[in-house]
Chains A and B, each alone.
Chain A
Amino acid sequence: MATYTPTRMVLNQLKGRLTTARRGHKLLKDKRDELMRQFMDIVKQNKELRKKVEEGLTEAFTSLSAASAVMSPQMLEQALLYPRRTVDLDVTYKNVMSVNVPQYSFGESGGTEDIIPYAFAQTSGDLDDALEKMSSVFSDMLQLAEVEKSMQLMAEEIESTRRRVNALEYSTIPDLERNIHYITMKLEENENSTKVRLIKVKEMVLQKAHNYSV
């Protein structure tokens, strides 16, 4: 605890800081609560999405395994060597309670609706299946990326906000209050001793002038 010189100026300064700290504490607390609320929503969303993605992928991989069982690895690789389209990802940022979370939107270029980049003659039907499933799970994967990243970023923000709230609540504000109390007491004490001194002086002066005692 830092020591302060017990003067009125310092007292005023400390009082100002206390008001600011209290206001900041309240604001940060509100921020933390709201962040927490949104965070819980996101966590729930994330859980559902992840489940969906994991299920979808497992299904797609099953089809892919079936395809690779029928086709030789070289054939498979050849069939998928040149994708018909490319994915363009656009990232914008949204501000949620001072946390910048990414928003993804993707476009596909390549022109065709069809995702299958090979001829049907030499490939297994399971491969078509696998690709179809993958492409349907892919939009969920993007959303998952968005939600999961938001979740991570918000978790960090909540943590630091919580630290700041706690620091204010348990350290800064009590410290300030203690110091203010100390200075107030000290000032009062000074005032009292001045008063006593004056009374004493008055007594002495009276005695000297009129030989008079109170």
Chain B
Amino acid sequence: MIGGSDTVIGFKALGLDTFPVNSDEEASAAFKQIFQAETDNPYAIVYVEETWAEGLSSAINKFRSDPELAIILIPGRDGSKGLGLQALKDAVEKAVGSDITGD
């Protein structure tokens, strides 16, 4: 889980590995750190807070077609920015050729 420190703190209690970040640089550093150990592939799902997703988008896109790693955007404390839904729309558009999700 990559996100602002106050976002990830709760998930830490759930038993997830958390990477608190406070800037875009820290976010990409955390991302790199996660994939450094890629050989034994420690994570199958990485949740990324939407706030930091924009800075990581190129890295995220790289893993889009990798079946072994799911990167899921979750809304941060400030509520949803709609980026998660945007990912859905992108996928639909890619598959169908136009956005038919209806909103």
Contact = CB atoms under 8 A, between A and B. Distances in A.
Interface of A: 36, 39, 43, 46-47, 50, 53-54, 57-58, 60-61, 64-65, 68, 76-77, 80, 83-87, 89, 91, 93, 100-102, 104, 108, 110, 115-117, 130-131, 134-135, 138, 141-142, 144-146, 148-149, 151-156, 158-159, 162
A153 B65 contact: yes
Interface stretch (B7-15, B25-33, B51-59): B7-15
A154 B95 contact: yes
Given A39-B95, A102-B67, A131 B88 contact: no
Contacts, number: 123
Interface of B: 6-7, 9-16, 44-45, 47, 64-65, 67-68, 70, 72, 74-77, 79-80, 84-85, 87-88, 91-92, 94-97, 101
A65 B79 CA distance: 12
Contacts of B72: 141, 144-145, 148-149
10 contacts: A46-B88, A61-B7, A83-B12, A83-B15, A87-B16, A134-B11, A148-B70, A149-B67, A155-B94, A156-B94
Given A131-B10, A145-B45, A53 B74 contact: yes
A108 B95 contact: no
Contacts of B87: 148, 152
B67 A151 contact: no
B10 A130 contact: yes
Contact of B80 (A39, A54, A134, A152): A54
Most buried by B among A65, A68, A144: A144
Contact of A135 (B14, B44, B76, B77): B14
B77 A65 contact: yes
Contacts of B75: 54, 57-58
Contact of B92 (A43, A117, A145): A43
